[in-house]
Amino acid sequence: MPHADGGPVRSPPKRDPQEGNIYMKRSIFVAGLLAFGVTAAIAQGNVVEQRQALMKEMGAQVRTLGGMLRGQAPFDLAQAQSGLRILAENSQKALPLFPESSRTVEKTGALPAIWENKAHFDSIFQKMNQDAQAALASVRDEASFKAAMPGVLQNCGACHNTFRQKT
């Protein structure tokens, strides 16, 4: 195609002395991408490990609290309160640890349903936090503990039934 200004048709590009640099830059770029991918994978692994650790801690608390609830262990107000505090805290801490990017990781008991209904999933964590806070405020003795506890614990099953792989 002739140039509109009638000037000379540009000769084919000469080998650019900078070319080596471009390749080097590109390989640095690729290396950067790979490093980024690895970092992202590690970050996802951490997110899953972190939420599983928070869940495990809640499981341990619920064993203690459940023992008191069933009368298998004597009621202990301080223990009941520290357990409830952990349930309140961990439900808040776990909330941001379910990013969509962790949907496809292998070692997780989290079901894809979480990301199909994230608002509902998150709302159960919020409810658990509120119920645990309310129980913290109301529990004074064994009777108030027995009245408040089942409502808090019900959130574990409510979420697991829909959003966690059956074990």
- Cα(142)–Cα(18) distance, integer angstroms: 79
Six token digits for residue 76: 């202990």
Q: How far is the CB of 40 from ligand HEC (least distance, A)?
A: 17
The binder of ligand HEC chosen from 44, 52, 130, 144 (CB under 6 A)? 52
Angle 156-161-162 from CA coordinates, rounded to 5°? 110
Q: How far is the CB of 157 from ligand HEC (least distance, A)?
A: 8
Dihedral over alpha carbons 76, 78, 79, 80 (to 10 degrees): 80
56 touches ligand HEC (CB under 6 A): yes
The residue among 110 and 139 lying less far from ligand HEC, judged by its C-beta, is 110
- Cα(17)–Cα(138) distance, integer angstroms: 77
- Cα(162)–Cα(102) distance, integer angstroms: 18
Residues 62-101 that bind ligand HEC (CB under 6 A): 62, 87
> Which residues make up the interface to ligand HEC (CB under 6 A)?
48, 51-52, 55-56, 58-59, 62, 87, 108-110, 121, 124-125, 128, 155-156, 159-160, 163-164
